[in-house]
Amino acid sequence: MDRKYNVAVIVGSLRKGSYSRMMAHAASRLAPQSLGLNIVEIADLPLYNEDLDGANPPPAWVAFRQAVRKSDALLFVTPEYNRSVPAPLKNAIDVGSRPYGQSVFGGKPGAIISLSPGAIGAFGANHHLRQSLVFLDVPMLQQPEAYIGNAAGLFDEAGNLKNDGTKDFLQKYLQAFSVWIGKHAPA
């Protein structure tokens, strides 16, 4: 390992006990030493309004932008709402991509873990999010993909992953992401 990458983890669900948040914590515990995963909170971000984005933008926007800007890479962990991403996650993308020409996302390697209690693992949210991120010049990990279904049965009462197959997959996914970052991280 030549370098430890600072990865901004953006969780699409605001609920404290969400499967997405549990998965983000599990990923942090299972990540290779080359990755330092840090959740960047989005719950306090006011809705994006260009009128507020002048000389004194909301402090929550400033803090979010600074946290993402200092990261080497981006990991999004999201549920699916109505075949798309949750509104707070879309808002975070809008806040981070503005003002025009000053996106904090551009050039940072990215990956998505989507999960749901259903069988298709939030496939729609994953692809909607991927579409926005590609537009924002985020080189996205192509393979492996992470659509994790049946999330309700993956965690114990304390929020820890109890499924060995999912643990193994997550470790392999994060190792592939580490390699991806090494190839695509800005110098």
Mean pLDDT by 10 residues, the chain (187 residues): 88 95 97 97 97 94 98 97 94 96 96 93 92 96 95 93 95 98 88
CATH code of residue 109: 3.40.50.360
| pLDDT value of residue 66 | 98
CA atoms within a 13 Å half-sphere pointing along the CA-CB vector of 48: 19
Element (H, E) at 164: helix 164-184
Distances (CA, A) of 163 to 10, 21, 26, 56: 23, 16, 11, 47
Distances (CA, A) of 128 to 41, 94, 135: 21, 14, 11
| pLDDT value of residue 178 | 97
| pLDDT value of residue 119 | 87
Contact yes or no for 35/71 (Cβ under 8 A) = no
- Full domain range(s) for residue 114: 5-184
Region of 107 on the Ramachandran plot (φ > 0 left; ψ -120 to 50 alpha; else beta): left
Count up the domains in the chain and report the number. Answer: 1
| pLDDT value of residue 185 | 87
Helix, strand, coil share (%) of the chain residues, nearest 5: 40, 15, 45
Element (H, E) at 38: strand 35-39
Whether this model's pTM surpasses 0.75: yes
CA dist 19 and 154 (Å) reads 9
Kindly state the DSSP code that residue 97 receives in the 8-state scheme. Answer: T
| pLDDT value of residue 1 | 47
